[in-house]
């Protein structure tokens, strides 16, 4: 395994596949290289024909903090930003179109693009005490990978709009009430992966495929993917706004200061 990667494993009976974001020292931020690994992991999972796919993060603190801002620099043109952001949009589309349930095990907090990945999954199960934020508006952009468009389909549109515009970070408890979190698991039970996903493993693959197709029909996937593409285009046009430039510069300056102090 390469440091800072996305890995795929499956259990010996091929009952489920497991994709893990493996960059805990960088809050599981997604680098350019990891996007390619993520896409390949999903294709490998599809080929193994298991009953469900689990996506989680390494470590205990963070599921994912989203895109690595050092890869998404502010010097990109609108077209360059769109091409770059579209790569991860394709990964989210692959999650949406996956033929069996995709379960996101939120081992820690998620911010920005981390929430976009989680929202693309069918089921979100969180470790108790975690928190989550669609914080993109606080750095002057929309969700960059199309996850905002998906959010409007997964929770009440009024709450989605409120969350996206305010950019607040909410607790797992509140988000369970809002329907974004489906289940909360105490930390002491968190390591029992097969217990957590047992309700899916007890069903046949044929049944789970049928239910997933029904859900995809309800989402109107083709229309939703078009809305995701529009959101990525809109994000690209905001890349050179002063709000976004200042926010990224503050982030990078803060990282440099941290290095100097240590």
Q: Please give the pLDDT value at position 256.
A: 41
Which residue intervals of the chain are DSSP H helices? Answer: 32-48, 78-96, 113-120, 147-154, 157-166, 172-177, 193-196, 198-201, 205-219, 221-237, 242-261
C-beta separation of 18 from 54 below 8 A: yes
Q: What are the domain boundaries of the chain? A: 5-188+205-261
pLDDT (tens digit per residue) in 115-149: 999 999 999 999 999 999 999 999 999 999 999 99
pLDDT (tens digit per residue) in 7-48: 999 987 889 999 999 999 999 999 989 999 999 999 999 999
Positive or negative: CA dihedral 98, 125, 170, 113: negative
Q: What is the mean pLDDT of the chain?
A: 92
Residues contacting residue 82 through CB under 8 Å, at least 6 positions apart:
232, 233, 236
Beta bridge partners of 6: 21
Q: Assess whether pLDDT exceeds 70 at residue 258.
A: no
Q: pTM for the full model? A: 0.94
Q: If you search the block for the tokens 């394709």, which residue do you land on?
A: 90
Q: Please give the pLDDT value at position 73.
A: 65
Residue % of the chain over a pLDDT of 70: 93
Look at the domain 5-188+205-261 and name its fold: 2-enoyl-CoA Hydratase; Chain A, domain 1 (3.90.226)
For the segment 74-79, the average pLDDT, to the nearest whole number, is 82
Measured distance CA(134)–CA(151) in Å, rounded: 10
For the record, the structure tokens of 156 come out as: 């009440």
Number of separate helices (H) and strands (E) present in the chain: 11, 10
Backbone angles phi, psi at 79, to 5 degrees: -65, -40
For the segment 174-184, the average pLDDT, to the nearest whole number, is 98
CA distances from 49 to 38, 46, 95, 151, 187 (A): 17, 6, 14, 27, 30
C-beta separation of 105 from 181 below 8 A: no
């Amino acid at each position: 395994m390469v440091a800072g990667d996305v890995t795929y494993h499956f259990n010996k009976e091929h009952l489920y596949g497991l994709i893990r974001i493996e960059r805990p020292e960088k809050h599981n931020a997604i680098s350019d290289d990891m996007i390619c690994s993520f896409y390949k992991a999903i294709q490998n999972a599809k080929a193994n024909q298991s009953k469900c796919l689990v996506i989680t993060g390494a470590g205990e603190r963070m599921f994912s903090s989203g895109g690595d801002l050092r890869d998404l620099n502010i010097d990109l043109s609108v077209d360059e930003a769109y091409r770059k952001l579209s790569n991860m949009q394709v990964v989210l589309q692959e999650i949406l179109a996956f033929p069996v349930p995709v379960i996101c095990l939120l081992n820690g907090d998620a911010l920005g693009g981390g929430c976009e990945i989680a929202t693309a999954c069918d089921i979100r199960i969180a470790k108790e005490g975690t928190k989550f934020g669609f914080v993109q508006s606080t750095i002057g952009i929309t969700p960059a990978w199309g996850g905002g468009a998906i959010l409007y389909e997964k929770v009440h549109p009024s709450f989605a709009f409120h969350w996206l515009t305010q950019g607040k970070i909410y607790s797992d408890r509140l988000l369970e009430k809002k329907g974004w979190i489906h289940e909360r698991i105490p930390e002491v039970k968190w390591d029992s992966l097969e217990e957590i996903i047992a309700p899916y493993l007890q069903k046949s693959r044929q049944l789970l495929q049928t239910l997933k197709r029904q859900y995809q029909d309800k989402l109107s996937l083709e229309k939703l993917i078009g809305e995701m593409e529009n959101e990525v285009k809109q994000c690209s046009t905001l890349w050179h706004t002063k709000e976004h430039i200042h926010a990224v510069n503050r982030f990078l300056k803060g990282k440099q200061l941290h290095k100097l102090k240590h």
